[in-house]
Amino acid sequence: MKKLVVGNWKMNPLTLIEAKKLAGDIKKGSKLMKKTEVVVCPPSIYLSPLASTASNVFFIGAQNAYYEPFGAYTGEVSFKQLLDFNVSHVIIGHSERRSLGGKAETDEAINKKVRAVAGEGATAILCIGESTRDRDGHYLEFLRGQVMSGLRDISKKTLSHIVIAYEPVWAIGGNTAMNARDVHETALFIRKILRDIFGPLSDSIRILYGGSVDDFSAPDIIAGGFVQGLLVGHESLKVKDFLKIVEEVEATK
Ligand code: PGA
């Protein structure tokens, strides 16, 4: 199974020229990767002009998608529509979207999005993560709940199109990632939940870590094979640093 490095550009960059340059440079720098898939997720307005850059090692993803294929949903873009633009991956339930509240990001809506995307044969990147950690371990039950509700009624046939991105909310957008040991422990916990629900077939689900990953923290986090990739936010806007992360992931056994 290939490892996965996803760049979440969030609401950046400011212009299409910059977006094209960023995507072009990342594509060039990752073309020799053999064991690692590289995905960039630009704001939806750049998906159409960047569609032609997608290849079999460099993929274009969306940061959200609506579960209904078409209809009276002002302001939404459906996954069916994204398919037309070579979008092969979709981030779903990112904490920055969940925190907006509203009906579009409830656990139920997130589950529908995961099913819609994976059902079309694209990769659904389901984001989970606790806001705080408590000593009694309540956050573990919270994570279990997010996994269970996000993957409710998922067909076993589509499991290979599911990715779980574990992003502790408190570690996002800072200077330091969560320490590697805690990432590994949490990834094992998530892996066990997946095994409990789906059995051995769930081994095709990749687990990523996200939250202030940089080229300094990436090697320890990816070591040992506990996580099968990384979801990178602000560092994915810096070509050199992002490519270093990709190379670290590629170099890990
Ligand atoms: P960050 O963002 O790397 O800037 O912390 C990660 C994410 O929110 O996906």
The reported pTM is 0.98
Q: What is the pLDDT of residue 32?
A: 93
Query: Which residues of the chain are under the pLDDT cut of 50?
Result: none
Distance 71 CA to ligand 1 centre (A): 32
- Spatial distance between the Cα atoms of 83 and 87, rounded to a whole number of angstroms: 5
Distance 177 CA to ligand 1 centre (A): 10
Q: Cβ < 6 Å from ligand 1: which residues?
A: 8, 167, 172-173, 210-213, 231-235
Q: Whose CA is nearest to atom 7 of ligand 1?
A: 233
**Nearest CA to 144 among 119, 164, 173, 116?**
164
For residue 211, the ligand 1 atom closest to its alpha carbon is 5
Q: Where are the strands (E) in the chain, listed by range?
A: 3-8, 36-41, 58-62, 87-92, 123-128, 162-166, 206-210, 229-232
Q: What is the pLDDT of residue 140?
A: 97
Q: Annotated catalytic sites, by residue?
A: 94, 167
Q: What is the pLDDT of residue 242?
A: 98
Q: Whose CA is nearest to atom 3 of ligand 1?
A: 233
